[in-house]
Amino acid sequence: MPPKILIIGSGIAGLCTAIKAAKLAPGAEISIVNKSTPDEGATRYAQGGIAAVWSSRDSFDDHKTDTLRAGAGLCNNHAVETCVREGPLRVQELIDLGVKFTRSEGRNTYDLHREGGHSRRRILHADDLTGLEIERALLKEAGAMAGIKILDHHIAIDLITEGKLFRRRSLPGRCLGAYLLDINASRVVTSAADITILATGGAGKIYLYTSNPDVSTGDGIAMAYRAGARIANMEFIQFHPTCLFHPAARNYLVSEALRGEGAELTTLDGEKFMTRHHPMGSLAPRDIVARAIDREIKRTGDKHVLLDCRPIGAAELRSKFPNIYENCLRHGIDITTAPIPVVPAAHYTCGGVLVDENARTTIDGLYAVGETACSGLHGANRLASNSLLEAVVYAHRAASHATGAGRNPPSGDAHELPSKLPDWQSGQAVQLEEQIDIAASWLEIRTLMWNYAGIIRSNRRLERARRRLEILHDEIFADYWNFLPTRDLIELRNILTVAGLIIQSAMLRRESRGLHYSIDYPETDDVHFKHDTVL
C-alpha cells in the first residue's frame, strides 16, 4: 500500500523530497505543510547559488578539501564524500525540472561563481536570485503532480509518537505524524503519516539580527527534541558577514559572491582590514570574516564596516548582480560609485536534528532534511553554497529510503497502533486576548541570544543567558498550556527550546572551533573536543 508522507516545510529540501517521493512511489499521499505561503522561506532568499563540481578545472577532491577545511575538523567524511560526488547528479535534476541557471555570455556553459573558502569556481547561480529561481521551478513541478497536496497557513505544533500515545517515557517509539494548527481557521488538525519528514529550515530568528525570514524559528529542531530525537552541534551558528546596514532594510543579505568577484571589506576610513585577520583576506571563510568585522566594529566604535564593490566594475556589477544593485539603489546606495555599509547577522544553523546517510533521525519513521538536519556535512562551519547542495542530495536520499520504509510495518515491540490517532486536547485553555507578553518575551530571547550567545562568547555570558532562559521557560510554558495555540505562541515556544539547546551545546564545548568562539577557551582542543556535541 503506498505510504502517507507528511513533509513539514516547503523550501528546497521539502519540495525536492516531495517530488522525488511522488515519482518513486506512485499513489503515495504526500502532504507539504507550510505555515505561510509556499514560496516564503529561506530558499527564496538564497542569492549565491549551489556548489557542485561542474568545471573540468575543478575536482571532487578539491571540493572535499575546501569543505573539510571550513568544517574545522568536525565534518563527517562520509557525508562530505556523498554530497560532493552526488551533487552534480542532483544539480542536473534541478536543470531537468526547469531551473534556469545563468550561462556564460557567448558560450554554451554555465557561469560559475567563486565564494569565500572555495579554491575553484563551482557555484551555479541564477544571477543573484538563485533560491527564488529554484523555488519557482520546484513549486511548478510539485503543483503539477497529483499525489502532492500543499497545506498553506498550517503550522506543526508537535510530533505524534508511540511514546506519547502510550506514555512510555524511556523511548519515543515510532513517529506517527503531527498535530497541525490551521492558522486561518484556528483549528488543530491531526495528521497521521507513515513517514514524517522535517524540512522546516533553520533558526535565525532566535537572534536579534538575522538574514533569515520570519518563518525561521527552529520549529523542526524544537519538535524533534521534544519528541526525543537526538540533536547535534547547536553551538555552531553561522553569522553571515555582510548584511545591509540601513534603517529601512530588513534582513537583506549582501551575497558573498561579490567578494568572490573582487569586492573588498574596509573600515569607514577605507583600510582593507581583512589581510590582518587571514591570508585569504576578504575571501576567508565566513566565521573568520564575521569575527573580524565584529572585532573591527568593537575596536573602532563604528556601527558597521564597508563592502567596496567598485573594483568589480560598474558594468559587471549591473549585469552579474542586478538584484543587489537595484535593492541597494532603492536605499540610496549606488554600489558602482559607493561602498555598501554591512554588518554580520545570524544566517545558518549548522547543527540540527542528527541524521544518518539516508536522513533518518534517531526516531523510527522520522526524517530530517536541509537546514533542520545535522548530517555532518558542515562540521563546525558551513562552506558557502553547500547548503542547497546538502538539501538536494539528502532530499533524494530521504525520499528513496522513505518510500521503501513506508511500506514496512512499524519496528519494535510497541502496543498495537490505534486505527485512529487521538484528537488534540485543549483542556481548560482559553483564547489569548493580548499579544504583549509574547512580543516582550520574543524580543528578550532574541536580544539576550545576540548579546550573550552570538559571534563571540564567554562562560559568564552563556551562564547569564541560561539563567534568564530558565525564568522565561516557566513563563512561556505557562502561557502555552493556559491559552489555545496560535502561530505566535507556537513559534515563541520553539525559539525558547532552540535557544536553550544552543546555550547547552555552547557550554559543553570548552574550546574555540569554527563558528563557536569563546574568549575563555580561545584555542582549538582536538584531544577533548574533536567530536559532535549531541543532546
Measure the CA–CA gap between 460 and 265, rounded to whole angstroms: 31
List 353's β-bridge partners, or say none: 231, 373
Phi first, then psi: give them for residue 515, nearest 5 degrees: -80, -10
Per 3-state DSSP, the chain is made up of helix, strand and coil in percentages (nearest 5) of: 40, 15, 45
Helices and strands per DSSP (H, E), number in the chain = 15, 18
Measure the CA–CA gap between 100 and 95, rounded to whole angstroms: 7
120: exposed, middle or buried (Cβ count in 10 Å: 0-12, 13-18, 19+): middle
**Among 521, 375, 369, residue whose Cα is nearest residue 459:** 521
DSSP H or E run through 189: strand 187-192
Q: In the numeric block, which cell numbers belong to residue 38?
A: 509556499
Please name the residue ranges forming H helices in 97-188: 130-143, 162-165
**Among 363, 361, 362, 388, residue whose Cα is nearest residue 377:** 388
Q: In the numeric block, which cell numbers belong to residue 151?
A: 497545506
Of 122, 286, 446, 461, which residue is the catalytic one?
286
Measure the CA–CA gap between 416 and 174, rounded to whole angstroms: 12
CA torsion 30→34→38→39, rounded to 10°? -130
Catalytic (active site) residue 122: no
Q: Which amino acid is at 202?
A: G
Using alpha carbons only, how large is the chain's radius of gyration in Å?
22
Measure the CA–CA gap between 59 and 158, rounded to whole angstroms: 43
Distant-in-sequence contacts of 456-460, Cβ < 8 A, 24+ apart = 456/291, 456/294, 456/517, 456/518, 456/519, 457/506, 457/516, 457/517, 457/518, 457/519, 458/518, 458/519, 458/520, 459/507, 459/518, 459/520
Question: Which residues are the active-site residues?
Answer: 286
